[in-house]
Chains A and B, each alone.
Chain A
């Protein structure tokens, strides 16, 4: 199993998001006017108002852009081979940084515009599974 860095708590903005990951739910927020808010926080980035509501994404999205990291000197990633990082546009209207796993060769198998679905990747250490994405047909 992989051993990605875990989120660190206490951290009041992202905690409910990560509790959702434990239940295989990809959570996002809306403000009272219906604007989608992501990454999680306690105020609307449009109006500054509080009272955001939480929602669960269907986990389906599109690759907005990506790169394949060939070199990362930090311990958590130094031993990995080439791996992808990507911005995923979820169908509900939010964009998140993530990675696309389950491809033979990330340098050739990923293209902008491809459809993806979230997966919750269990880690060697740490209680929080990490939301990652897989290509879908």
Chain B
């Protein structure tokens, strides 16, 4: 292929437990970094780049993490843009490694959202006294209702239905049932019915914020993991085959006076990533799309270019998102809906992309060569980010 191969993901690790009261978020991060380095065949002392979303309680973002780990990296990047932070880290690692600033870089995640019962989706106003909170806190819009307002508008503008969106929940649950860690997660989090689900199951689950039902919303788990970014020279001598980062795109979007909230930041970030990678959406074998809610995936399928704006409902209605059916497959680990969502899922999009391109997924798509990981951070419909990363098998 003609693509430039300037940086790769060389090692990965996903924390196996989704309810884990006995560890701290910083312990999850450190142990995950060690395990991801082991996966690559690299050592602690090899790390010269540190990317961090400031998610642990180490203090000072990447500063606190470096001190906790005992590392003195020469690239320190503390980009925190919500759940898509890890796609941004991959994008920055591609730049930093290509420019020779580092050779072995890590990003990590650790969260205790389930154990601490963090009300991520249904929490109300936090803090106050900023230009934005002073205009919005008084209305009690939850995280979920932001996404719900996008869904409501999408349904109004394009005729999208809950029955169509339910296909996203159904496909990710089918994948989760094949992933032992996801099954354990749903068991530990006391899901009602750890089994495959139907359209009716989704329709009959309670509404959290109209029009979104419980089974259209991601879980809240503990968890974490890590990924190791490496230069081509390092990639040549790893335990496993590298997965190449071919392109990346970054964007942000927010409430605008005349904005169309059915269009996300992904509409800006995706074309940049595809152009850099020298491929088109038609070339993609597998898509890992941040499934915070069903509507997030529907909007991203459109913005990434898998179908036209407004046509996601029809695009997914035939059920092809499942790994064992022809057509585009998504989120083969079970996604945030049914496997892992400690608050910022972006890392897991990279990890499952790597597993697919290595042939290690529990719902392996045959001959998967090209993947896209797209993270959405912040609040869809309000201030949010889009991070798109194109990945290729060796």
Query: Residues of A at under 8 Å CB distance from B?
Result: 4-11, 13-14, 17-18, 36, 38-41, 64-77, 80, 83, 85-87, 89, 93-99, 107, 112-113, 130
B101 at the interface (CB under 8 A from A): no
Give the Cβ gap from A30 to chain B, nearest Cβ, in Å: 11
Given that A72-B140, A76-B140, A83-B140 are contacting pairs, would A8 and B128 also be in contact in the complex, using a CB cutoff of 8 Å?
Answer: yes
A73 vs B142: C-alpha distance in the bound complex, in angstroms? Answer: 9
Name 9 A/B residue pairs within 8 A (Cβ), A-sorted: A13-B131, A66-B210, A67-B144, A69-B142, A72-B142, A74-B119, A93-B258, A107-B207, A112-B153
Q: Inside 8 A of B212's CB, which chain A residues have their CB?
A: 67
Q: Inside 8 A of A10's CB, which chain B residues have their CB?
A: 129
Give the Cβ gap from A133 to chain B, nearest Cβ, in Å: 11
Contact partner of B131 among A11, A72, A86, CB < 8 A? A11
Q: Inside 8 A of A67's CB, which chain B residues have their CB?
A: 141, 144-145, 148-149, 152, 209-212
Q: Is the interface of B mostly helix, strand, loop or mixed?
A: loop
**Does A11 lie within 8 Å of B138, measured CB to CB?**
no
A76 vs B124: C-alpha distance in the bound complex, in angstroms? Answer: 8
**Does A38 lie within 8 Å of B257, measured CB to CB?**
yes
Nearest first, the 10 closest Cβ-Cβ pairs linking A and B are: A74-B124, A8-B129, A67-B148, A65-B153, A8-B128, A13-B131, A77-B140, A7-B134, A14-B134, A68-B210
Beta-carbon contacts under 8 Å, B101-151 to A: 119, 122-125, 128-142, 144-145, 148-150
Give the Cβ gap from B3 to chain A, nearest Cβ, in Å: 37
Residue of B nearest to A128 (CB): B138
B283 at the interface (CB under 8 A from A): no
Given that A8-B128, A65-B156, A72-B122 are contacting pairs, would A97 and B209 also be in contact in the complex, using a CB cutoff of 8 Å?
Answer: no
**Does A96 lie within 8 Å of B135, measured CB to CB?**
yes
A80 vs B132: C-alpha distance in the bound complex, in angstroms? Answer: 23
**Does B129 lie within 8 Å of A9, measured CB to CB?**
yes
**Does A97 lie within 8 Å of B257, measured CB to CB?**
no
Contact partner of A4 among B140, B211, B261, CB < 8 A? B140
**Does B257 lie within 8 Å of A93, measured CB to CB?**
yes
**Does A130 lie within 8 Å of B138, measured CB to CB?**
yes
The contact size tier of chain B is 35 or more
Q: Inside 8 A of A93's CB, which chain B residues have their CB?
A: 257-258
Number of A-B contacts (CB under 8 A): 135
Q: Inside 8 A of B211's CB, which chain A residues have their CB?
A: 67
Q: 7 additional contacts, CB 8 Å, given A6-B138, A68-B210?
A: A9-B129, A40-B131, A66-B149, A70-B207, A74-B140, A80-B140, A130-B138
Give the interface centre of A5, A73, A96, A99 by most chain B CB atoms within 10 Å. Answer: A5
Give the Cβ gap from A29 to chain B, nearest Cβ, in Å: 11
B72 at the interface (CB under 8 A from A): no
A112 vs B156: C-alpha distance in the bound complex, in angstroms? Answer: 7
**Does B149 lie within 8 Å of A87, measured CB to CB?**
yes
**Does A39 lie within 8 Å of B206, measured CB to CB?**
no
Give the interface centre of B138, B142, B256, B381 by most chain A CB atoms within 10 Å. Answer: B138
Give the interface centre of A4, A85, A130 by most chain B CB atoms within 10 Å. Answer: A85
Give the Cβ gap from A9 to chain B, nearest Cβ, in Å: 7
B208 at the interface (CB under 8 A from A): yes
Given that A70-B206, A73-B119 are contacting pairs, would A39 and B138 also be in contact in the complex, using a CB cutoff of 8 Å?
Answer: no
**Does B124 lie within 8 Å of A39, measured CB to CB?**
no
Q: Inside 8 A of A69's CB, which chain B residues have their CB?
A: 140-142, 144-145, 209
Q: Inside 8 A of A107's CB, which chain B residues have their CB?
A: 207, 210
B259 at the interface (CB under 8 A from A): yes
B308 at the interface (CB under 8 A from A): no
**Does A73 lie within 8 Å of B122, measured CB to CB?**
yes
**Does A71 lie within 8 Å of B128, measured CB to CB?**
no
B255 at the interface (CB under 8 A from A): yes
A113 vs B153: C-alpha distance in the bound complex, in angstroms? Answer: 10
Q: Inside 8 A of A87's CB, which chain B residues have their CB?
A: 149, 255, 261
| B186-211 to A contact mask, C-beta < 8 Å, 1/0 | 00000000000000000000111111
**Does A14 lie within 8 Å of B257, measured CB to CB?**
no
Give the interface centre of A6, A72, A74, A95 by most chain B CB atoms within 10 Å. Answer: A72
A96 vs B136: C-alpha distance in the bound complex, in angstroms? Answer: 9
Beta-carbon contacts under 8 Å, B242-301 to A: 255-259, 261
Give the Cβ gap from A67 to chain B, nearest Cβ, in Å: 4
Contact partner of B138 among A7, A17, A38, A66, CB < 8 A? A7
**Does B148 lie within 8 Å of A41, measured CB to CB?**
no
**Does A97 lie within 8 Å of B140, measured CB to CB?**
no
A86 vs B148: C-alpha distance in the bound complex, in angstroms? Answer: 10
Give the Cβ gap from A73 to chain B, nearest Cβ, in Å: 4
